[in-house]
Chain A
Amino acid sequence: MASVAPAISGPHQYLQAQTRWSRVEIAFWLATLLPFVVAPNYLVLASQVAITALFALSLDLILGYAGIVSLGHAAFFGFGAYTAGIISKYGWGEPLSGLLISGIAAGLLGYLMSFVIARFRHLALIMITLGFGFLLLEAANSASWLTGGADGLQGVRMWPLLGIFKFDLWGVTSYWYSLIVLFLLFLVSRRLIHSPFGLSLRGIRENIVRMRAIGAESRAHLQKVYTISAAMAGIAGAVLTQTTETVSLGVLDFQRSADLLVMLILGGAGRLYGGIVGAILYMVARDQFSGINPQYWYFPIGVLLIAVVLFLPNGILGGLAKITASERLQKWMRTLPPWLRGAS
């Protein structure tokens, strides 16, 4: 056993190392607190970023890990957003229970859709997710008595969080609320990814035919992850409603699904931090260039998408991982003092 890499002494240690928190990760989550200190004027943007990151994380579970293409994930985001808005409008403005109800509602919708999703692949699947997104958008548009239609849902009033913290104009409450929700659901996703279930999802992504040949319950797995992902997307939508106290048809737009896909792909699909990093970069860039015509904005985005597909198949994080795994960098890293190297 001399040829085994010295860092790994056995399969158990190897697997435990996979789930260990690295220093980069801890530093990342500490850094998410920086906006409170460094950029108190940008807390509204920061909470939007956190919400979008959660949404991207939910898509990563089904697209990045299980490999199911979805062009209509905004359906669940929007469903959660409207659920949260409507229950508040009709008199129940308590945020946490509203969040829970919205998540359950979106999860139920996802569970129903999962029966369809698990049966199809390729073009039919693309069409069904796309069509489902448009269907929900049109439904919300038509049912203006309930949703406010194109004018948006008015009259959403949230009660203070835990009865104490009001949602203020500066976004202080909003940011730590969305950050905590993001972090908790990130923990859930992290757990899921490193579980036997997460391994099976990757198996489905890698080779669904072979999964049949080992007797795997692929369809049940797909339904389960789709439901979880839909619930997470719904919660992200609900947080958006609760922190902005309004819902517009835009939450269900195809553009939202497409943007999400862009973020996830840029960041790196199939990596826990891919969607989060993608969301941060995308949203901050979007904010910086908010002055330009939105139609022009899609030029660099389109170029980036093409470039990523052709030259950087695993996104930014995938590219970084490749660089850090390179021999020369490893050699150079070993010359650094241990506290600088980080774990993993």
Chain B
Amino acid sequence: MIVSMFGVLFDGLAYGMLLFLLSVGLSVTLGMMNFVNLAHCTFGMIGGYVTVTLMNSMGWPFLATLPAAFLVAAAASVVFERTMFRRLYRSTDLDQCLLTIGLVFVSVASAAWLYGTIQQPVNLPSYLRGSYNVMGVTIGVYRLFLIGMSIVITVALVGALEYTRFGAQVRAAVDNQRMARGLGINVDGAFAVTFALGSGLAGLGGALAIDIVGLDPSFALAYLVYVLIVVSVGGLGSIAGSLVAAIVLGISDMAGKYYFPEIGSFLIYLVMLSLLMWRPVGLFGKR
């Protein structure tokens, strides 16, 4: 029982880290612009398909595809942002929801057309496969790699946000957009860069997720709910909030499915609703 608990904790942590990568970008951009981007997981899906394509069709090594997944997702997000999203920053949340759901639909259908509806295979290199056995607990190498990578990214993100000029501008814009504009900060520019960065991270998350949760065209819709839970429970614009919410969600989802397979997902939604009613701005949100 104890052993299985540690196993669930470890797997849940890895899963939570994945959710964090997928959602942190949305949290920051939502905090800045209040733009409800339901198409965020589309960028995750793009990253996933980039990795699959590069590996299976062009024979790239797995690790080399990761930066590509990041870059392509970021580039795609810039295109969408410039051509569509920016026209709706001052629209109602309904319009924002509709446009981005439309985008999700298009991306799901396109992925189905290009790649079929099957789960995409990914062949991890041998040094990322297998597992250790530490006192009876199975520690998967790939999950360990995932956690390590997420920690590096989190540290880099927090560092960039806390200690760089650009980070200070982003924080100011999240805190109070109008005041930031008044101070002469180029909020639109900072937003565009943050948006690309966040989407790139989602792309990276999508690529890393293939071995854990699989990849098929429904990815953009299926993980949207999880990402939205992380963002709304963690609080808009809060990296720490997203991290905590993602880990808690990852572990409770794993534990729920392991110990209460009948009502696991039910409990997740129940906890989320209760949390939101208790604190509508999320655990770490200010507004």
Could you tell me the distance between the alpha carbons of A130 and B94 in the complex, rounded to whole angstroms?
13
Q: Which of B43-51, B166-174, B199-207, B259-267 sits within the interface? A: B259-267
Q: A131-B273, A297-B109 are in contact. Are A123 and B236 (CB under 8 A)?
A: yes
Q: Given the complex, which residues of B lie within 8 Å of A298, measured CB to CB? A: 105-106, 108-109
Give B107-123 as 1s and 0s: 1 = Cβ < 8 Å from A's Cβ atoms.
Answer: 11110110001000000
Contact of B105 with A302 in the complex, beta carbons under 8 Å: yes
B190 contacts A by Cβ under 8 Å: no
Considering the complex, give the chain A residue whose CB is closest to the CB of B228: A127
A285 to chain B, nearest CB (A): 14
Instruction: Let me know if A340 is at the binding interface, CB within 8 A.
Output: no
Quick one: closest B residue to A127, CB to CB?
B232
Contact at B270–A135, with CB atoms within 8 Å? yes
- Are B84's CB and A63's CB within 8 A? no
The 8 A CB mask of B247-287 against A (1 = contact, 0 = none) is 00000000000000011011001101100110011000000
Q: Which of A266-310 contact B (CB under 8 A)?
A: 293, 295-299, 301-306, 308-310
CB nearest neighbor in A for B117: A295
Chain B residue numbers with a CB within 8 Å of A127 are: 228-229, 232, 272, 276
Q: How far is the CA of A301 from the CA of B273 in the complex (A)?
A: 30
Are B102 and A305 in contact, with the CB atoms below 8 A? Answer: yes
Contact A123 B36, beta carbon cutoff 8 Å: yes
Asked whether, in the complex, the Cβ of B101 is within 8 Å of the Cβ of A305, the reply is yes
Contact A305-B112, Cβ < 8 Å, known A63-B94, A126-B36, A138-B265: no
- Least CB distance from B217 to A in Å reads 6
A292: min CB distance to chain B, Å: 10
Q: From A131, A138, A258, give the contact of B276 (CB < 8 A).
A: A131
Tell me if B98 counts as interface (CB < 8 A to partner A): yes
Is residue B104 within 8 Å, beta carbon to beta carbon, of the partner chain?
Answer: yes
A122 contact set on B, CB distance < 8 A: 34, 36, 93
Q: B82 in the interface, Cβ–Cβ < 8 Å?
A: no
| 0 or 1 for each of B233-253: is its CB under 8 Å from A? (1 = yes) | 000100000000000000000
Chain B residue numbers with a CB within 8 Å of A67 are: 92, 94
Q: In the complex the two chains form, what is the Cα distance from A295 to B99 in whole Å?
A: 18
Residue of A67, A303, A305 with highest tally of chain B CB at under 10 A? A305
* Contact partner, A130, options B34, B87, B91, B228, Cβ 8 Å: B228
The reply on A109 being an interface residue by CB < 8 A is: no
**Most chain B beta carbons < 10 A, residue from A138, A265, A302, A313:** A302
**A120 part of interface (Cβ distance < 8 Å):** yes
Taking a contact as CB atoms under 8 Å apart, the answer to whether A139 and B30 are in contact is no
Q: Chain B residues near A124 (CB, 8 Å)?
A: 232, 276, 280-281
| Given A293-B112, A293-B117, A135:B266 Cβ within 8 A | yes
**Residues from chain A with Cβ under 8 Å of B34 in the complex:** 122-123
Which single member of A134, A142, A265, A303 contacts B263 (CB below 8 Å)?
Answer: A142
- CB within 8 A of B99: which of A119, A297, A306? A306
Q: Which residue of B lies closest to A300 (CB)?
A: B109
**In the complex, which range does the number of interface residues on chain B fall in?**
35 or more
A100-139 vs B: 1/0 string, CB under 8 Å?
0000000000000000100110111011101110110011
| Contacting residues of chain B (71-99) with chain A, CB-CB under 8 angstroms | 84, 87-88, 91-95, 97-99
A69 within 8 A of B: yes
Q: How far is the CB of A333 from chain B (nearest CB, A)?
A: 32
Is B151 an interface residue, CB under 8 A from the partner? no
Main secondary structure of the interface of A (DSSP, over half): helix
Q: Closest approach, in angstroms, between the C-beta of B203 and any C-beta of chain A?
A: 20
Residues of A within 8 A of B97 (CB): 69, 71, 126
Residues of B within 8 A of A305 (CB): 98-99, 101-102, 105
A296 to B229, CA, bound (A): 28
> In the complex, A130 Cα to B268 Cα: how many Å?
13
CB of B225 within 8 Å of the partner chain: yes
Among candidates B106, B109, B221, residue contacting A306 with C-beta atoms closer than 8 Å:
B106
Asked if B102 contacts A306 (CB within 8 A), the reply is yes
Q: Does B103 contact A (CB under 8 A)?
A: yes
Query: Which residue in B113, B117, B269 is a CB contact (below 8 Å) of A134?
Result: B269
Whether a CB of chain B sits under 8 angstroms from the CB of A261 is yes
As a 0/1 sequence over residues 148 to 165 of chain A, the CB contacts with chain B under 8 angstroms (1 = contact) are 000000000000000000
Q: List B contacts of A304 (CB < 8 A).
A: 102
Contact of A120 among B88, B113, B280 (CB under 8 A): B280
Interface residues of B (CB under 8 A from A): 30, 34, 36, 84, 87-88, 91-95, 97-99, 101-110, 112-113, 117, 217, 221, 225, 228-229, 231-232, 236, 262-263, 265-266, 269-270, 272-273, 276-277, 280-281
Some 25 contacts from A to B, beta carbons below 8 A apart, are A71-B97, A116-B277, A122-B34, A122-B36, A122-B93, A124-B281, A126-B36, A127-B228, A127-B229, A128-B276, A131-B276, A134-B225, A141-B266, A142-B262, A254-B225, A258-B101, A261-B98, A298-B105, A298-B108, A301-B105, A304-B102, A305-B105, A306-B103, A306-B106, A309-B91
* Nearest 4 pairs of A and B residues by beta carbon: A302-B105, A305-B102, A299-B109, A302-B106
A130-B228, A295-B117, A305-B102 provided; 20 other pairs, C-beta below 8 A? A67-B94, A69-B93, A120-B280, A123-B232, A127-B228, A127-B276, A134-B225, A138-B263, A141-B266, A142-B262, A295-B109, A296-B112, A297-B109, A298-B109, A299-B105, A302-B104, A302-B105, A303-B102, A306-B99, A310-B84
Interface residues of chain A, those whose CB is within 8 Å of chain B, are 63, 67, 69, 71, 116, 119-120, 122-124, 126-128, 130-132, 134-135, 138-139, 141-142, 254, 258, 261, 265, 293, 295-299, 301-306, 308-310, 313
